[in-house]
Amino acid sequence: MNRLVIATRQSRLALWQAEHIAQRLREQHAGLTVELLPMTTRGDQLLDRRLDQVGGKGLFVKELEVAMSERRADLAVHSMKDVPAELPDGFTLAAITAREDARDALVAQRYASLAEMPAGSSLGTSSLRRAAQIMERHPSLVVRVLRGNVDTRLAKLDRGEYDAIVLAAAGLARLGLAERIRSRLSLEESLPAPGQGALGIECLAERAEVHELLAPLADRASELCVRAERTVSRALGGSCTVPLAAYAEMSRGTISLRALVASADGRRVLRASAQGADPEAVGATVAAALRSQGADEVLRSPPSGMQ
């Protein structure tokens, strides 16, 4: 192949990520032409409700997958935290790139930490996972739904619609907006979503020639960690409708995974961890531990924590 087309959402962050992968592919393969196919997804259009109310993470990838099925595009680049736990038949994650900072970040004009925010302060997030963990530790804060791309969310903060917002640190850094971060939330304050901080490249499973071009971009340690995290999500029916977090680190061939599930109001939070070499086995162990604590009951609770 001497030409690749990357299907991408049209947000500034999605375009940055797609162009980042395009440039890496050009550097790896002399003479390769890489083009972008910007698209608007259903998830980009429904901005007035929580994702769990309108269909979940798949709303951001369906149109891209249709473009790949129709061979209008060869691959798509995703933030791994936005990729559903189960891909449609015929699709695969051909590469997961080296992970960046996976933590959540507090963005505010007046407050440098969640602890500084007075009772009744409004905090915006689109994530049930973030909301539940914040409400567990800071029940006096008012957590409100915040949708839109990164620039839209920052603009709402700057207009005073929220006292603070929480975004992924990696996304802000990729857009050159790291200076907006007042503090990075510790893993104890806000355990990340499965795959957060890593980019995943999706393509049709049958496209061996595309897999070959993407292989140099894969990072083995990041892939193993993300696989462990996604195993927890898959085992517990994970999607954006579930307040679920999972984060793994690799050291000397050992995967250390921690995860949690929470009620939407943060009043009940279950935690578990495990170590091992096999990502699926480690993920299954953690999922079973959470289930033994009552995860299924917690995850069946209505997602009513955010306003």
Q: Which residues are tagged catalytic?
A: 82
CA distance 11 to 25: 21
> What secondary structure letter does DSSP report for 26?
H
Parallel/antiparallel/unpaired status of strands 33-39 and 3-9:
parallel
Length of the chain in terms of residues written: 307
Could you tell me which of 8, 220, 219 has the C-alpha nearest to residue 97?
219
CA distance 263 to 255: 27
Taking a C-beta distance cutoff of 8 angstroms, is the pair 139, 96 a contact?
Answer: no
Taking a C-beta distance cutoff of 8 angstroms, is the pair 153, 97 a contact?
Answer: no
Residue matched to tokens 């990502």: 279
The helix (run of H) or strand (run of E) holding residue 199 is: strand 199-204
The helix (run of H) or strand (run of E) holding residue 143 is: strand 142-145
Taking a C-beta distance cutoff of 8 angstroms, is the pair 165, 123 a contact?
Answer: yes
